[in-house]
Chains A and B, each alone.
Chain A
Amino acid sequence: MKVISKAQQAVLKILGNPQKSASGYRLIKYCVQENVEDGVLLFNVLTREVLLLTRDEFENYTENKELLDKWFLVPEDFDEKATTETVRWVLRNTAEKPKHITTYTIMTTTDCNARCFYCFEKGCARIPMSEETAHKTAQYIKEHCGGKRVKLAWFGGEPLLNMQVMDIICEDLKNAGIEYYSGMTSNGYLFCEDAVSKAKTLWNLKHVQITLDGTEKVYNRSKAYIYKDGKSPYQVVLNGIELLLDAGVQVAIRLNLDLYNADDLMNLVDEIAERFSGKKGLVMYAHHLFDTDLSMAQTHTDEEWEPRYEAMYRLNSKIDGYGIGWTRGIKKTLKLMHCMADGGSARVIAPKGDIGLCEHYTDCEFIGHIDREDIDKAMVESWKELSPEIPECNDCFYYPGCVKLKKCTANSTCYRHEREANLREIKRSMLHEYKLWQQNAQKADDEDEEIC
């Protein structure tokens, strides 16, 4: 047996010694298996450990004392859900609460230069942040970051439509000696040479997420940009992506997948992979396009999700084939928070200076204002409320890693395809860890040879 990725020690400490059983042992419900060439990978979603067993070891797993010590084997009558609750309870109560706010999502404007039919700001007022609010925002950050390095996430609307306030905030932070770096969610249209140069020198931009809805014709139709200068918006955005990549800024291209565009997106993946072949810092991933007023589960029935998920898997495997998929390893610690909304160290600052916790609310759900120190504690607490469990949670392999917020419009409910997608994602991460482990083992072998 080999350890591919180590367990979270704090979880093992809470679990204590394995329990004795007169009635025998079984694999914990939270164990995910994946076959690889030299055996079977096992991942314990609760302890976060990944093991590699030979086939022989796997066939006789109930006799393996090490698996018992590592909580892969549990007594037949073990209550993993209650145990998980206790582990979470201990971790939550002993975790150090964030003392400072170090992540700021800044909505430079709710206006946009595109008119996508699905945009969640459709119908919302188009408000730019004023220069005065930008200065106050920088001051607010200075007063609440505890002198720590801060992450700025530029968001909109289209954040680049109001670059002036980005400049002001960064200049003010720089003058105040506050270290910062930034990321951005943008349609990419305004990334000209000047903007990219500023992104490097002033905004300290590390990564940008840009959405593409299809190949040139489809994209140009669906985005409906406001500019009537005869340029192809698709080409403008691709040029912007190229400038960013050349400047060393990571670009994550999100492919918005709806009911009808899967084939076109498959072509788009080929086009993008070809155009940016050999460039570092590009990742792509497919994302279901859905109405943010509804949760994912509410938008379709299970049967309707089937083809959409199949299309997503096809797209992602094509992306992986080009080596530009978004591969994440196993998260080393148990998930206790859902996102910025319940994490305690992030704030959203809307164009008029209102402070929120979720970037998907531009005109309500605020907890305060940059002009005031008081915070609506009841509103803060309401963002920590969890979605009710469903009967499937009792036997779900994903339970220890599952945190769903009642108020999250993107992910508050659960449906079969989501669980299957979670399983695939976990297996992908296991394989990623396994590859890293193999590479390290190979490196160690090479070093040995050199010493000889």
Chain B
Amino acid sequence: MKLKDGFITREMAEKQIMVSVNGDFSGLVRSNQTAAFIVDNLKEETTKEEIVKKLLEKYDAKEDIITEDVENVLETLRKIGALDE
């Protein structure tokens, strides 16, 4: 899976902002550090498992909590049509 072309991001005050440049989604997604990390990983072709693995390397947290976080973020991105799967 991969973030769709046309979804771009930028940092602002420790948050990441994501918008769609081709009108696929008219709102704005504001992400915390973890969600931003997931979005950044999705800029290249990847899988849910790979993202979970990378997060486990970065953060000292339980796998089931991290997996849940990743699933939540992916679900949000799916809802706004930002994922190519």
Contacts and interface: CB of A to CB of B under 8 A. Distances in A.
Interface of A: 13-14, 16, 19, 79, 82-83, 86, 89-90, 93-94, 96
B17 A94 contact: no
Nearest to B15: A16
B61 interface: no
Of the candidates B8, B12, B21, the one having the most CB atoms from chain A within 10 angstroms of its own CB is B12
Contact of B17 (A19, A79, A82, A86): A86
Nearest to A92: B21
Interface string B8-29: 1011110101011101001010
A94 B24 CA distance: 10
Contacts of B8: 93
A83 B26 CA distance: 20
B77 to A, nearest CB: 17
B30 interface: yes
A16 B23 CA distance: 21
Of the candidates A14, A86, A94, the one having the most CB atoms from chain B within 10 angstroms of its own CB is A94
B12 A83 contact: yes
A94 B30 contact: no
B10 A19 contact: no
Given A13-B28, A16-B30, A93 B13 contact: no
28 contacts: A13-B28, A14-B17, A14-B28, A16-B15, A16-B30, A19-B13, A79-B13, A82-B12, A83-B12, A83-B13, A86-B10, A86-B11, A86-B12, A86-B17, A89-B10, A90-B10, A90-B17, A90-B19, A90-B28, A93-B8, A93-B19, A93-B21, A94-B19, A94-B20, A94-B21, A94-B26, A94-B28, A96-B23
A109 B43 CA distance: 53
Interface string B22-59: 01001010100000000000000000000000000000
Interface string B66-77: 000000000000
Nearest to A82: B12
Nearest to B30: A16
A96 B21 CA distance: 9
Contacts of B30: 16
Contacts of A79: 13
A83 B10 CA distance: 11
A93 B18 CA distance: 10
